[in-house]
Structure 1
């Protein structure tokens, strides 16, 4: 048994090294001098440590504005998604209304439809509303995701009906019940959903590329793709841009991963 445990841990360690190596090399290359990573064999560590690529990205390429765009959009998307999805998920779990189960089944069935199919109709709709090249248009897909609704609904099923009925018997309104009982009980899944939406919005490339036509409105992934066309040979600068894009959300995920995992596991078994 001890040998088996050692081999298992060794295998996990090897897999972890294989997964983490590209990320670590990306960070290392971002500190190399221009052209150093293009030599053969590629160096693992920079011969001369430099911050010139980060300085160029923020001073010359305006990466600070794109980072602010991504931060603003991801934050607003998270807030709006919680405002719409959490009450709706609770309603589908605990409030009785006509056609509730049928509507939920239709929504869950829509999960199998690729999101790209709705891209063109949504773009045409926003164009007719004058929301193309606006942050409002970029936020629309995140307002109420079906997956988030499913997560909240499944978790809300675990709230005892007796607790809600006791609150109603004491004269509490539905709004008071939601604020004082439901929201505290849903805290793990709310953190999970917030992290899920923030990461998804921050890393989203296709929809901002379609709906944001003005370069000053670009988010980090779109700006980095546009920059790569101009500096395709500058591997070090592209790696620095990738680090700037990945580092904030990676730190956020590592800080909140226990809530994320707890909420995902709970949402998968409730109900």
Structure 2
């Protein structure tokens, strides 16, 4: 007859094994204890990735195909044909002969580059103040920044235009640049990056006699430059692709940006979708090249932000 003490002496290995979970039929348990996807699970994943790829890249591929189609190709044929039967680059030549594309592209480059630099510098300074310093009204400032994100840009576009007109900056690239020189979302991103810096480093640098600019340059910037690259890429793409605000501010065709100048393709060529598609591809190529060059900085900045967060 076993007593309670004898039952307590039963080794743990002799206990009944725990029942194996079977509520995840799509996973099998690997050697390390982590779930390993089955073939059906992998098939579903790749199917979803292929669907997302078609949705994201499909319109670009279709525009590229349309821009290369000649007059003999039926762009409205069903089922659609991606490979042109009569390929030609004449549509790109018609775009270049219709608008001063190099001049407009230069204006867009000035706007996008200035916005990228301005957002990186000003958002870093504001992020350092909100993320690392203590001062009165800090919570109010954060609340104001968050509240601006709740309003769409169209709500404040009239007040922005009145401000630009009062400053006598209408019909100039400076008037296009000024409202977007720093964005609230970029300030919040840099604030989150600055908060991840150990406060002891900043206090140690201050005790050693470092000025504010030295702290920002030697302590803050090396820690947040990954996130700053993300801000720069977003600001550059946003400035290059912006259409509504330059259309409102600019009235002289000699000052147009590339996206605004592309409207002439619709007015002059009517229903010629081939030329419009060629203009779209021309406007997209700089963005694709820019992201291809700086994508490693972008993903590095996103990864650093995720790890520090």
Give the TM-score normalised by structure 1.
0.92
The reply on whether 1:75 has 2:113 as its aligned counterpart is yes
Alignment match, 2:174: 136
**How much has 1:266 moved relative to structure 2?**
5.2
Alignment match, 2:236: 198
**How much has 1:131 moved relative to structure 2?**
0.5
Q: What is the aligned length? A: 271
Q: Which has the higher contact order (CA 8 A, sep 6+)?
A: 1
- Alignment CA distance shift 1:17-1:112 (3 Å): same
Task: Give the helix-richer structure, 1 or 2.
Answer: 1
Residue pair 1:63, 1:220 contacting (<8 A) in 2 also: yes
Alignment match, 2:42: 5
The reply on whether 1:25 has 2:62 as its aligned counterpart is yes
Task: Determine the C-alpha separation between the residues in 2 that align with 1:13 and 1:38.
Answer: 25
Give the TM-score normalised by structure 2.
0.82
Residue pair 2:99, 2:261 contacting (<8 A) in 1 also: no
- Alignment CA distance shift 1:3-1:268 (3 Å): closer
How does 1:1-271 map onto structure 2 within 5 Å?
Answer: 1-34=38-71, 36-41=73-78, 42-264=80-302, 267=305
Which stretches in structure 1 are left out of the alignment for 5+ residues? none
Task: Determine the C-alpha separation between the residues in 2 that align with 1:37 and 1:86.
Answer: 52
**How much has 1:54 moved relative to structure 2?**
1.3
- Alignment CA distance shift 1:117-1:17 (3 Å): closer
Task: Determine the C-alpha separation between the residues in 2 that align with 1:142 and 1:246.
Answer: 21
Residue pair 2:67, 2:91 contacting (<8 A) in 1 also: yes
Moved more, 115-124 or 257-266: 257-266
Task: Determine the C-alpha separation between the residues in 2 that align with 1:61 and 1:37.
Answer: 26
Larger radius of gyration: 2
Task: Determine the C-alpha separation between the residues in 2 that align with 1:269 and 1:231.
Answer: 51
Instruction: Give the secondary-structure state (helix, strand or coil) at the position aligned to 2:262.
Output: helix
Instruction: Give the secondary-structure state (helix, strand or coil) at the position aligned to 2:240.
Output: helix
Task: Determine the C-alpha separation between the residues in 1 that align with 2:292 and 2:286.
Answer: 10
**How much has 1:269 moved relative to structure 2?**
7.8
Which stretches in structure 2 are left out of the alignment for 5+ residues? 1-37
Residue pair 1:208, 1:218 contacting (<8 A) in 2 also: yes
Cα RMSD (Å): 2.0
**How much has 1:228 moved relative to structure 2?**
1.2
Moved more, 193-202 or 33-42: 33-42
Moved more, 249-258 or 202-211: 249-258
- Alignment CA distance shift 1:43-1:232 (3 Å): farther
Residue pair 2:265, 2:275 contacting (<8 A) in 1 also: no
Instruction: Give the secondary-structure state (helix, strand or coil) at the position aligned to 1:186.
Output: helix
Q: Deviations over 1:19-74 (max 9, x none)?
A: 32221121111111146344533432122221112122223421121111111110
Residue pair 2:169, 2:175 contacting (<8 A) in 1 also: yes
